[in-house]
Structure 1
């Protein structure tokens, strides 16, 4: 056990000394989110009145917008460089998510306050169909930026980390991403009321904003 602990500490020491530390931490932060069409967001959308078929359709479109990044990345990285691709990807993701999330959060907070004043329940807090579709549009279009950023960081790691240290770096990176993803699930359990889900969305947007800040300072 002591040997495993020592190796774990050594791996972290290697990780924090890498020149790509900030982009790597930023990538991990992007896992601490409910702003994807995973089961938490799917549950919220279905509670909001969206059908399973419609959610599945949007999920398919999201996969296509993500794949679009694989076509954009090679020429963009060749012309502008990996650092530019990373900045462009996370900035585009943040812009798309902000455009989808902020109107939804403002409307949900206002509806919750109004329902509280009149003693209403969760039913009165359900968002309008148009608001939900604006949210989903932001989620779907943001996948291009996420994938572009992921591709850029993966390539940066390959180029800037010594080959003999790649195992350590990838091991810590995977651990960090899993930890942040688990935190998003814990947050979902803590805020189980779907009428309050907009606060989780706002927190997730904040996580993406912090990630973008790390990349911009890289």
Structure 2
């Protein structure tokens, strides 16, 4: 499945790019719309076929179904203004049934909005408890920490690349190469697992990922890097900011050498920016603008592209660990919490960019991203140490 995903990442931009180039952007949008409609029909057909082949997927656990029916009846009667709610059919009084009945009775005594809120909090709490007590908790948290990064081919990195003089055609080529390296990571995962086992595969993938990201850290301090720590000062007067702008124009860190001696701002105004789904295209960047050095941006993308081999291999390792070490009854809950953690950490990296939005700040974001990734891999190393120690004790 990962290989299919990576191949799609290679072919999809090429296909849509050819349609937009040969026809127009409107035709390209229509092509994407039609493709999604066709894909929806195909997806529905295969999902229905899966449910016909495995009928057990359509059966819910009886206890959860009874609780859901009882809550639906409760909400319906509360909405009709009934002050009392009839309890469900009597069952044998066991300790678990008593606790469940008391819990549901406490909820039904509250107003409807508070009932839903308390039920939501209770569900989240139970999900986190189930997630925390899993033996692969540290591995899952390590994977989530890898989402707090700007070192990927998303709108942030591509926008930064445009400000550093990278053309759209070259950036598309780099995206295709990155998909190929990700495909190599899926192949490496299967071979490493057969040779060294699943846990050791994660360790090797982590080391490879971190080693490649050191190139990104080097790019922050390499020639051509626009990092300027003085721009992070919260209070700068108008005169000092003017002087700072004059000093920045004279610095030879990363400015564009313009012909005719005219001053050109680093970023154009908002009216001249075309916002797309994954890229930011600038119109008024002069055609004769030549960056002083490409060493920084070359090191950055070299690290990002090569790191995807270890990244995808590590992602598959943790995903496989979650599938093999979680019991079937809790697998859906744990995977749901894992997905929520991934999205939460992904949201955090957007908050980082909002806090430091200028290209001069990107080097700081790179360093913070590498720290988060290192923390995530450290969590996995702790899990691997515990897993190997437990394996030795069992043997």
The alignment's TM-score, normalised by the length of structure 2, stands at 0.52
Say which SS state the counterpart of residue 248 (structure 2) adopts: coil
- Closer/same/farther in 2, CA of residues 110 and 192 from structure 1, 3 Å limit: closer
Q: Describe how 1:6-155 pairs up with structure 2 within 5 A.
A: 6-98=122-214, 100-107=215-222, 112=228, 119-121=247-249, 125-126=253-254, 128-155=293-320
1:130-179: CA deviation from partner (whole Å, max 9, x where unpaired): 22111101100100111000111111111111111111110100000000
Partner of residue 32, structure 2: none
For structure 1, the residue ranges without an aligned partner over 5 or more in a row are: none
- Closer/same/farther in 2, CA of residues 2 and 119 from structure 1, 3 Å limit: same
Say which SS state the counterpart of residue 149 (structure 2) adopts: coil
Say if 2:325 is the partner of 1:209: no
Say if 2:353 is the partner of 1:188: yes
Q: CA RMSD in A?
A: 2.3
CA distance in 1, matches of 2:163, 2:191: 41
State which structure, 1 or 2, has the greater radius of gyration over its C-alpha atoms.
2
Say if 2:364 is the partner of 1:199: yes
More helix by share: 1
Residue-pair matches, total: 217
User: Given the alignment, which residue of 162, 172, 176 partners 2:341?
Assistant: 176
Partners of 1:30 and 1:211 within 8 A in 2: yes
Q: What is the CA-CA distance between 1:6 and the residue it aligns to?
A: 0.3
Partners of 2:138 and 2:379 within 8 A in 1: yes
CA distance in 2, matches of 1:81, 1:14: 26
Q: What is the CA-CA distance between 1:121 and the residue it aligns to?
A: 4.6
CA distance in 2, matches of 1:113, 1:26: 30
CA distance in 1, matches of 2:344, 2:228: 31
- Closer/same/farther in 2, CA of residues 159 and 17 from structure 1, 3 Å limit: same
Partners of 1:94 and 1:209 within 8 A in 2: yes
CA distance in 1, matches of 2:329, 2:216: 42
- Closer/same/farther in 2, CA of residues 180 and 122 from structure 1, 3 Å limit: farther
Say which SS state the counterpart of residue 120 (structure 1) adopts: helix
For structure 2, the residue ranges without an aligned partner over 5 or more in a row are: 1-116, 232-243, 255-291, 384-395
